[in-house]
Structure 1
Amino acid sequence: MDVGSLAFGVAVDLGSTRPLPPQLAAAEDLLSHAEAAGVESVWLGESYHSSPQSFHLPSPLITLSHLAARTPLRLGTGVLLARAYDPARLAYEAALVDQISAGRLTLGIGLGAPGLRGTLGGPDQPGGTMIDRLLTELREAWAASTTRPAVPAPYRPGGPELLVGGQGDAAARRAARSADGYYAATNYSDRLLSEQCARYLAHLPEGRSPSIAVNRLCLVAEDPAAALDQAERAFGRVRDYYHSRGLWNIGADAGDPSPWLVGSPETVARQLERYRGWGVTHVQLRLLPDGAPHDTATRTLELMAAHRLLPGRPQVS
């Protein structure tokens, strides 16, 4: 089996319920396995909590700058929460991380919760106005001809690639016309993903190559029943977190399956082919959320590589 043109990343979970150093050590070990398996990138989400939570941390650019010296993989945010950022400051910080990583940074951006409006340096503006302003000011700060540049400038001329997340037509249109691509979250149903892919592609200007990334919990085992049983235990905490907020499988109809990549290599290959058929170009594999065994995550990478779902060819023990 070969899923061809799809590119793969690893979405890393780092939370505030445990000390960070051992979490980073586990993540760095996972990234070494991911690199061997042919994964291209590492992605971090962002959250601001009033009490410790299993995921995510604030300020992912800080953590990505730490990882930049420890992995050759590309770096991405999936996603930054736009309401938490002053556009000018984000332009400087992202440009600096792009310099530190020698041009390996991609910025995925979403609005974030309404409660972030006017806090942490972000402007108190309506969502659409705020994110449009942010995208415009980032581009302007990174342009070679700008009168108010970010210094140092990004490593890559024009700055990091920008992906936009969100539900609905406005998000898809913004991703197609004001950014470089679209980013779909872990908890978006496959039904919502396919709809957003179609909306994005409908808005994409003629001649521009599409870029659609999706984040998915992933567990592969030779036996499909064993994979489902392991996933129930490995992903229970993160799924319950979304369920408790009414945010799991957003946009699904009754009877729709969970929005994850779980099963045998053959089952997962078929799902990836469906994604590619909808227009997905990048899949971020969320392998090690809080509660998932490390060896299950590395075994998933080994099996996906051995069955040509990833480019690497490690030996399966």
Structure 2
Amino acid sequence: MGFGVVFTQGVVSGDPYRVGQEVLEQATAADRLGFDAALTTEHKHSTEYFGSALPMAYAIAARTERVRVGTSVALGPLYNPVELAQDAAMLDQISGGRLFLGLGAGYLEEDFTTVGVPFTERAGRLDETARIVRSAWTNERFSFSGEHYTFDDVSVIPKPLQAHAPLHLGAWTPGGLRRAARLGDGWISNALMSVDTMAQMASAYRDEAALNDKEGHVSAVRFCWPARSREEGMRDFGDTALAMVRTLWEYGAIGDMPGVRSASDITIDDAVRDRIIFGTPDECAESIRGFQDTAGVQDFLLIFRHPTGPGQAKVLAAMELFATEVAKQF
């Protein structure tokens, strides 16, 4: 069981320089507190998320010593696959073999129009990108001819330091789960699917992985907020959690809330019941065990700060509380 941290701040969080420094401070805290990873994510057209996931991961690598560094997730279809393989391999080298590369297909059309990539091609481009990245990492030279990309006698220098650098794929559709099982080393959930939805998807993913002679590996992205009491947690995180769930429902990132016809129908109870790791340290541990027992989750990639809050001091305190009183139970 591993616990990583994912950073989701953007310019809506404040001055970009200050917010960037806060992300780096959270990353060094994760390294010091014993978390297993400190990962970036992105949207290309958003005030809520920075759009430069790999450059931020490089900065994190330079300031940490032991956590895995990389993305959960970068939008794979928006990159040149060979450049992505090179940049990720260099990150693995300069970090001493700590790369964790997570890629997703994307779900917001604005991300694609921002960089001039057709939204309708996202699945095919991610499929080819995953295959190209793996070929670039494992072959001295390779060629590839697909619907979207063609490369002839290409060599990526340097290769990753790790003998088998991990490539994890995010998904929440049947096709995406099959892709993760076929081409990835693991599946990454989205941040707000319920535990029952995750269990169904994890089962489908593992069945498909078995058909590809793989065991499969499940990583769950979860918003997380430990507190000394539920009342304290609601005070510090309740409004943020509710706004976050409503926003992501409007984006179309949550599809398993029967009866919800508009964002205003969602309550805070809906948010914390089985989607967010929330409450006292013991309640957080109980929630983690529920995801572990029901969905077979092996790693948790935790988001302690949504772009709208809480503030930095409270985030750092929550990370420390989790590390000292929740993670130690596992």
Quickly name the TM-score band, shorter chain normalised: 0.7 to 0.9
| 1:150 partnered with 2:156 | yes
Given candidates 193, 197, 202, the residue that maps to 1:188 is 193
Given candidates 291, 299, 302, the residue that maps to 1:282 is 299
What is the RMSD of the two structures over their aligned residues, measured on CA atoms?
A: 2.6
In structure 2, do the counterparts of structure 1 residues 121 and 150 end up closer, same or farther at CA, with 3 Å as the change threshold? farther
Quick one: distance in 2 between partners of 1:68 and 1:169? 34
The answer on whether the counterparts of 1:86 and 1:121 sit within 8 Å (CA) in structure 2 is no
Quick one: distance in 2 between partners of 1:42 and 1:124? 29
Given candidates 285, 296, 314, the residue that maps to 1:296 is 314
| 1:22 partnered with 2:18 | yes
Percent identical residues:
24
| 1:42 partnered with 2:44 | no
| 1:141 partnered with 2:136 | yes
Quick one: distance in 1 between partners of 2:23 and 2:52? 17
Q: What does residue range 196-215 of structure 1 map to in structure 2 within 5 Å? A: 196-205=201-210, 208-215=214-221
Deviation at 1:122, TM superposition (A): 5.3
Moved more, 181-190 or 294-303: 294-303
Given candidates 49, 56, 60, the residue that maps to 1:67 is 60
The answer on whether the counterparts of 2:210 and 2:216 sit within 8 Å (CA) in structure 1 is no
Deviation at 1:23, TM superposition (A): 1.4
The residue number in structure 2 matching 1:57 is: 50
DSSP-derived class of the 1:218 partner: strand
| 1:177 partnered with 2:182 | yes
The residue number in structure 2 matching 1:228 is: 234
| 1:81 partnered with 2:75 | yes
The answer on whether the counterparts of 2:172 and 2:190 sit within 8 Å (CA) in structure 1 is no
Deviation at 1:298, TM superposition (A): 2.5
Moved more, 111-120 or 29-38: 111-120
Q: 1:179-198: per-residue Cα shift (whole Å, max 9, x none)? A: 10001122333332222111
The answer on whether the counterparts of 2:3 and 2:37 sit within 8 Å (CA) in structure 1 is yes
Gaps of 5+ in 2: 143-153, 260-265
| 1:8 partnered with 2:26 | no
Deviation at 1:114, TM superposition (A): 4.3
Given candidates 267, 273, 277, the residue that maps to 2:283 is 267
The residue number in structure 2 matching 1:315 is: none
Q: 1:196-238: per-residue Cα shift (whole Å, max 9, x none)? A: 1111111122763432111111111121233233221344553
Q: Tell me which amino acid in the other structure corresponds to 2:221.
A: N
Runs of 4+ in structure 1 over 4 Å off:
114-119, 121-125
The residue number in structure 2 matching 1:111 is: 105
- Decide which structure has greater helix share: 2
Q: Tell me which amino acid in the other structure corresponds to 2:75.
A: L
Quick one: distance in 2 between partners of 1:246 and 1:128? 17
The answer on whether the counterparts of 1:8 and 1:40 sit within 8 Å (CA) in structure 2 is yes
The residue number in structure 2 matching 1:3 is: none
Q: What does residue range 234-245 of structure 1 map to in structure 2 within 5 Å? A: 234-245=240-251
**Paired residue total:** 302
Quick one: distance in 1 between partners of 2:113 and 2:246? 30
The answer on whether the counterparts of 1:85 and 1:120 sit within 8 Å (CA) in structure 2 is no
In structure 2, do the counterparts of structure 1 residues 76 and 202 end up closer, same or farther at CA, with 3 Å as the change threshold? same
In structure 2, do the counterparts of structure 1 residues 184 and 98 end up closer, same or farther at CA, with 3 Å as the change threshold? same
Gaps of 5+ in 1: 1-5, 313-317
In structure 2, do the counterparts of structure 1 residues 116 and 289 end up closer, same or farther at CA, with 3 Å as the change threshold? closer
Deviation at 1:123, TM superposition (A): 7.4
Quick one: distance in 2 between partners of 1:176 and 1:75? 22
Quick one: distance in 1 between partners of 2:111 and 2:175? 20
Q: Tell me which amino acid in the other structure corresponds to 2:302.
A: L
